[in-house]
Structure 1
Amino acid sequence: MTSRASRIDVHHHLVPPAYARALRTRGLRPGGVDLPEWSLERSLRVMDRNDIATAILSISTPGAWLGEADEARRLAREVNEYAAGVVAARPRRFGFFATLTLPDVEGAIAEADHALDQLGAAGIALLSNSDGRYLYDAAFEPLLSHLHDREAVVFLHPGELPGQAAPGIPSFTADFLLDTVRATTGLLLSGALEKYDRIRWILAHAGGFLPYISHRVLLTQLRTEPRWRQAKVMLARKAEVERRLGVLRRLYFDVALSSSPTALPSLLAFADEDHVLYGSDFPFAPAPAVRFMRQEYEDVRLSDHQRAAIDRTNAHVLFPWIAT
């Protein structure tokens, strides 16, 4: 079944020329694959062929941090200004998530304000880990506090796992999913998800496998509490279990590369149905992959309300500026 609503794609990458040069000069392969070719025209072509009305642009891993703070600040500014230019040229078709400079926190806060206030960014893109340090690192709290105060939409995209990749398996296949789970679990266990609850998080790729192991994460949370014996009693209280899981259900989840007949029902069994968003992952998912996953998504049995919500209306809550 094809959706009647034009889609809002919250997981759509761009590869600005200066950023591409910086990565290729260093031989970096995001997700263990060659950096894809990208152009505005290619994005528009894929969007038109897959009923995508508006795409929110972001860069993928490794972000702006390539090892040095001044370079990260320069590159983040260049990427954000380039993205803002794309949006200015086609305001009905694009928005963008701003790139920051983590683990440089001071630079990240300054760039967030510049992008949100001066460039009109739709939100902020953060990697699950930056230079091996996860978002729940205590040193990153000033940024989380700032984004909380600004009630920012934050798109959480995986990075490369700290440590050696598994031989013969590109990191985008499975490591990316684990990276998202690590970051989100850490944000929960550290208390950051509740403390900074005005941040509106979007987790890439249906949250990795977080929905599948949500009760395992809950048990981990209970084991960290001082009175584990009393915490065990809480498991018998359905209301308490639902309260704790509700912290995770406040998160948003995109369906990029995660809309198969097995993955999507699993996500919908866990997530608030008003918090599921469409995503394509173009161009890291090339045009044939976008088409394949879109066709699988359309084959999943959903009500008209559910499909319209995922395609568009859920995103309107986060991005009311998108023309109705």
Structure 2
Amino acid sequence: MGKSQPSAPDPAQTASAQGQWNSFTAQQQQAMNMVGQNSPYGSLAYTQTGSTSMTDPNGNQISVPQFTANTTLSPSQQAIFDKTQSAQGNLADLADNQSGMLKDYLSKPFEFNNQDAADWAYDMGKTRILPQQQQDTEALQRQLLQRGLRPGTDQYTAEMTRLTNAQTDQMNQLALNGRSQAFNEAAYTRSSPINEVTSLLSGSQVTQPGSTFASTPQTQVGGVDYSGLVNNNYNQQTAANNAQMGGMFGLGGTLAAGAMKYGLPLLSDRRAKEDIRRVGETDSGIPIYTYRYKGSPMSHMGVLADEVDDDMKVMGDDGLFRVYYDRVH
């Protein structure tokens, strides 16, 4: 037995309504954040340029507005922009012309002759290094003779060999350094035209002249929790219904509960009650009332015996009807 329970919200309808609120909130927030601007560099304006249509999960068509941001530069800034564009076009033309030259240039393999580099280094260094080495040799020979060491002796031969090896290492290092320098110069010469074209292609990127527009505060619009409101309302209705039915079954805390538990009839004759007020109905439509038994200050909730079927009630010895609440539905 109980008052009719509130119908649970339809998930699809709730979701659809929530989606519509979400879409409205998004459009409201977008409209509030699209702030036009005017500055010394130009102006920024948003205009609606159309709309797009989409289908929601329920098959309904939703129209969403579309906007375009339009930037208009001031005359001086527009002139700077035009010149920058022109300069970029000139660089592109130069790069295009030079790239045609690279086709033939790169078809020839890179060549480097180590022996030519060594000969170049030797020719460049011999005018200063060889005379110095000759002076070092003569000086060592005089020192050895002064020490009493003669050509042909082991000590003389060892000292002269040490000097010869050092001078040979010096000439080898000259050749190595010369080859390295010559290779770097040859590689630079080879890559120079390529680097020039690459620089022209990369160029200076064309950007909007002047300062960018100011950052405007972004408004955050709190969305409507429609689903939460629906569910909360349903829960409140259910709780109120359950509380009402709990009071009915309690009938003061013990009467109907005990009667239903043990299948006993409970006095429900209209003639035994007063202050009768209707407050609802059961699932089958039987009216539910609040009332007091005559002479009692306590309020109860229940049905009237004259409004239930015969199989739900019985007459007592006092001529008043009792109701089997476990049969009421």
- TM-score of the two chains, using structure 1 as the length reference: 0.15
Larger relative helix fraction: 2
Rg comparison, structure with higher value: 2
Larger relative strand fraction: 2
